[in-house]
Structure 1
Amino acid sequence: MNVTAERSRLPFARPNVLELAPLYEVLRREAPITAVTTPAGDPAWLVTRFDEVRDLLGDKRLGRSHPEPERASRITTAAVQEGPTGNYATEEADHTRMRRLLTPAFSARRMVMLSDHVRHLVDDCIDRLLTERSAAPDGVVDLHAGLAFPVPVAVICRLLGVPESDRDHFASLSERMADHSIGDAAPRARDEFNEYMITLAEAKRARPGEDVISDLVRAQSTDEAYDYDEMIRLCVGLLFAGHETTVNRIGLGTLFLLTRPEQWRALTADPAGRVNATVEEIMRLGAPGDLGLLRYAHTDVDVDGVTIRRGDAVILSINSANRDASVFRDAETFDPDRPERNHLGFGHGPHFCIGASLARTELRVVFAAMAERLPGLRLAKDVDDLEVRPTLTGGVRELPVTW
């Protein structure tokens, strides 16, 4: 198969929400850096093999900004990661400032301190699910609405200082902003999200609290180089990513475990001993969305015999890299006991996910509690029948379960 004979168009069709398109395996073997057409119809490079994805994630010759933004390839019609972001001249300095401001709030030590609060939230959700199941005529409840969604939302609201009573509003904005099927409604949702965050930020300016948004508003007020619009974009990004990604990983992790009963039984037999490894395997194989991380070349870059020209768009497929058989034994198999622990589920290099400790804390608490309190959990609908959200972050709309 000559995969470079014609430019393939993203996204590639997936068999279901747990599997990737078979074409990724072919690309990793034959053309790990290949020319593709984005969903928006523009040219880009798709990188699929682990080594190249990892190396380019850490390569400062690639960035999120573009030397000529008006000429940049567009990736999608959604309003998330659709094109370049940030200032080309100051991107590195802006990123350094952001990490400096946010690192204390998202430190591993602080996340450990948060774990008791997360467990309380999870137990409350499970209590309600138990009550709902008793009242449901068919004994079926929606784990997405009852647990996977409310827990990450409550946690990120507490950290950022966002009223939890606003959750339906900003969740709807997030959904529409990331939806690649609704055309101009996606950027309008992003504008609404920005307006919502401006209102919240100004309220924090008047009455600051002990939370991340208050810290960012305070920093922007005292640093002339810190652009107000940049601060608002960061707050929106934190609220969006802080709940969307974890919600989806809880859903996908549950599907992986319940479609592999032997792995679910192993976790229920020893939740404390197995939950960490289980979460890492969920982060490796759980593949929300069908694209990857977007970068633009800031100079010509030669990789694996391919020259990526200055300004070219590069899509780094974390999903594909994490299933590279040259790095992971039986790469397509969900196996928490595997020895490899070098997945790219949280990225790599300077842009390694600042919320990694938060996500790990939430996922560990959620899956340990589910294994302890709902050992008989099972799916009430076939995976192939679940509706997948038409958004860049993917995931399922519902997760019907019983026990």
Structure 2
Amino acid sequence: MPADIEDIPRLPFDRPAVLDVGPVWADLRERHPISRVLTPAGDPAWLVTGYNEAKTLFGDPRLGRSHREPQKASRISNSGFNGGPVGSFEGEPAFNARLRRVLVPSFSASRMRRLEDGMQKLVDTLLDDMIDAGGSGKVVDLHERLSLPLPIFVICQLLGVPYGDRAYFKDLSERAATMTGEDPFAAIVELLAYAGELADVKRRDPGLDVISDLVKAQRDDPSFTNAELTQIVAGVLFAGHETTVNRISLGVVMLLENPQVRRRLVDDPLSRPHIVEEVLRLAAPENFGLARYASEDIVIGDVTINAGDAVIIATLAGNRDERAFPDPEALDPDRPVSAAHLSFGYGAHYCIGAGLARTELRVALTSLFARLPDLRLAAEPGQLRLHVERVTGGLHELPVTW
């Protein structure tokens, strides 16, 4: 580490407001799109803030989540997720190949269509209940009443998880994601054990769900271990609801701040996919990035990332790179589709559940503003608070009225 360590910026950076990620990201990108930083745990890493550099590294097979010597690897944070190396260094390529081979069919178009029907019914019910509880100046928490229950319901349906368990695994997910709590790794252990119990249930009584698909794949492939299966189940259970919950809430705030775009979302069905993409590009619930480790030396531009180095790909910064997105802070439904946002990654590691997340956002946001065109924040935007203690970020609450 260089002698002037005090001059190296340390994550996470201060954030002025929930929709304003702050100037540090752009300043770093202008100076150099791949910069030296310290992680929240105080260890060295490379921070990628440029769009083209992020795309290149997302597609580089020499970056992964494992490390040849995990005990010597930079710690990213003290959370259970995104805290440090994960999995076997030698076995990671085979694990990733199996992951996509098993999960891609599980996210088939027919299964997504069945889920969409259930989504719309649930959103209608949630909005009915919210309208009954609010109105006439009453304040309700939209985060708790809409943003949170919808993705949890969807992930339960997709995986085959009992909906009655939602409070339990939500608590485990939040504890595992914290960077300041005392038990993130205990929560991970408990979440993996819970994933194993879910798999045992599906071995006895399989259904049309992802966990049943995984159990069947394990029967067909003796090299597919229980540890790998539970890791996949726990990972999908966590990632499948946390990020979508947070983006629905931030999408609502964003559209309330952009009334013309909000009206267009309701009135112009052809614009909805473009508006959803812009929400996904700009909604940054976290103040961080995706952590990876170099398995070999990687030369990119004038930077050499040495084998073993930690790399943090900041999609929130890449999504605001004016080289890829002119006037990057604008929510622009007419933005030319010359560059795809990075919120779901890129290339071989593109998020398998991207289509599902898009559908959840479209259904939730369109239904909400169609039913409640006069919806407004019941607090100043600057009063809204993010969970800065979690790697996944997200709002504490979203008070609204109408």
- Rounded to whole Å, the distance in 2 between the matches of 1:36 and 1:267 is 39
What residue is the counterpart of 2:390 in the other structure?
391
1:93 shift after superposition: 1.4
Instruction: Determine if contact 1:4/1:31 at 8 Å carries over to the other structure.
Output: no
What residue is the counterpart of 1:296 in the other structure?
293
What residue is the counterpart of 1:33 in the other structure?
34
Q: Does 1:100 align with 2:72?
A: no
**Aligned partner letter, 1:283:** L
Q: Specify whether residues 50 and 108 from structure 1 end up closer, same or farther in structure 2 by C-alpha distance, changes over 3 A only.
A: farther
Task: For residues 276-326 of structure 1, give each alpha carbon's deviation from its aligned partner in whole angstroms, at most 9, with x where no partner exists.
Answer: 111100110011211111111010011121111000000001000000011
What residue is the counterpart of 2:179 in the other structure?
180
What residue is the counterpart of 2:191 in the other structure?
193
- Rounded to whole Å, the distance in 2 between the matches of 1:357 and 1:55 is 23
- Rounded to whole Å, the distance in 2 between the matches of 1:378 and 1:269 is 19
Q: Aligned with 1:44: secondary structure? A: strand
Q: Does 1:132 align with 2:133?
A: yes
Larger deviation, residues 115-124 vs 50-59: 115-124
**Aligned partner letter, 2:166:** R
Q: Does 1:153 align with 2:152?
A: yes
Q: Specify whether residues 148 and 19 from structure 1 end up closer, same or farther in structure 2 by C-alpha distance, changes over 3 A only.
A: same
1:109 shift after superposition: 4.5
Task: For residues 125-173 of structure 1, give each alpha carbon's deviation from its aligned partner in whole angstroms, at most 9, with x where no partner exists.
Answer: 1111111115xx7421111111111111111101100000010111111
Q: Does 1:89 align with 2:86?
A: no
- Rounded to whole Å, the distance in 2 between the matches of 1:244 and 1:52 is 26
Instruction: Determine if contact 1:300/1:308 at 8 Å carries over to the other structure.
Output: yes
Q: Does 1:381 align with 2:382?
A: no
- Rounded to whole Å, the distance in 2 between the matches of 1:353 and 1:288 is 17
What residue is the counterpart of 1:265 in the other structure?
263
Larger deviation, residues 381-390 vs 294-303: 381-390
Instruction: Determine if contact 1:275/1:367 at 8 Å carries over to the other structure.
Output: no
**Aligned partner letter, 2:285:** P
What residue is the counterpart of 1:247 in the other structure?
245
**Aligned partner letter, 1:228:** N
- Rounded to whole Å, the distance in 2 between the matches of 1:287 and 1:59 is 24
- Rounded to whole Å, the distance in 1 between the matches of 2:384 and 2:127 is 22
What residue is the counterpart of 2:331 in the other structure?
334
Task: For residues 45-100 of structure 1, give each alpha carbon's deviation from its aligned partner in whole angstroms, at most 9, with x where no partner exists.
Answer: 00100000010000011111111111111100111011111211121111111111
- Rounded to whole Å, the distance in 1 between the matches of 2:216 and 2:113 is 26
**Aligned partner letter, 2:62:** R
1:192 shift after superposition: 1.5
1:4 shift after superposition: 9.8
- Structure 1 residue runs of 4 or more that deviate by more than 4 Å after TM superposition: none
Q: Aligned with 1:103: secondary structure? A: helix
- Rounded to whole Å, the distance in 1 between the matches of 2:180 and 2:242 is 18
Q: Aligned with 1:104: secondary structure? A: helix
TM-score scaled to structure 1, two decimals?
0.95
What residue is the counterpart of 1:68 in the other structure?
69
Larger deviation, residues 282-291 vs 200-209: 200-209
- Rounded to whole Å, the distance in 2 between the matches of 1:41 and 1:5 is 11
Instruction: Determine if contact 2:107/2:352 at 8 Å carries over to the other structure.
Output: yes
Q: Specify whether residues 202 and 109 from structure 1 end up closer, same or farther in structure 2 by C-alpha distance, changes over 3 A only.
A: closer
Instruction: Determine if contact 2:106/2:213 at 8 Å carries over to the other structure.
Output: no
**Aligned partner letter, 1:364:** R
1:222 shift after superposition: 3.4
- Rounded to whole Å, the distance in 1 between the matches of 2:183 and 2:327 is 42
Q: Aligned with 2:274: secondary structure? A: helix
- Rounded to whole Å, the distance in 2 between the matches of 1:336 and 1:379 is 23
Task: For residues 352-389 of structure 1, give each alpha carbon's deviation from its aligned partner in whole angstroms, at most 9, with x where no partner exists.
Answer: 00000110111111112112211111111112111212
Task: For residues 190-225 of structure 1, give each alpha carbon's deviation from its aligned partner in whole angstroms, at most 9, with x where no partner exists.
Answer: 111112222222122122222111221222233221
Task: For residues 208-250 of structure 1, give each alpha carbon's deviation from its aligned partner in whole angstroms, at most 9, with x where no partner exists.
Answer: 2221112212222332211211110110010111110110110
- Rounded to whole Å, the distance in 2 between the matches of 1:189 and 1:273 is 43
Task: For residues 97-134 of structure 1, give each alpha carbon's deviation from its aligned partner in whole angstroms, at most 9, with x where no partner exists.
Answer: 11111111113443234322211111111111111115
Instruction: Determine if contact 2:115/2:157 at 8 Å carries over to the other structure.
Output: no
**Aligned partner letter, 1:104:** P
What residue is the counterpart of 2:307 in the other structure?
310
Q: Aligned with 1:39: secondary structure? A: coil
What residue is the counterpart of 1:116 in the other structure?
117
**Aligned partner letter, 2:391:** L
- Rounded to whole Å, the distance in 2 between the matches of 1:113 and 1:205 is 23
What residue is the counterpart of 1:142 in the other structure?
141
**Aligned partner letter, 1:112:** R
TM-score scaled to structure 2, two decimals?
0.95
- Rounded to whole Å, the distance in 2 between the matches of 1:351 and 1:235 is 17
Q: Does 1:55 align with 2:56?
A: yes
What residue is the counterpart of 2:25 in the other structure?
24
Q: Aligned with 1:398: secondary structure? A: coil
What residue is the counterpart of 1:224 in the other structure?
222
1:5 shift after superposition: 8.6
What residue is the counterpart of 1:279 in the other structure?
276
Instruction: Determine if contact 1:245/1:393 at 8 Å carries over to the other structure.
Output: yes
Larger deviation, residues 376-385 vs 110-119: 110-119
- Rounded to whole Å, the distance in 2 between the matches of 1:206 and 1:316 is 41
What residue is the counterpart of 1:353 in the other structure?
351
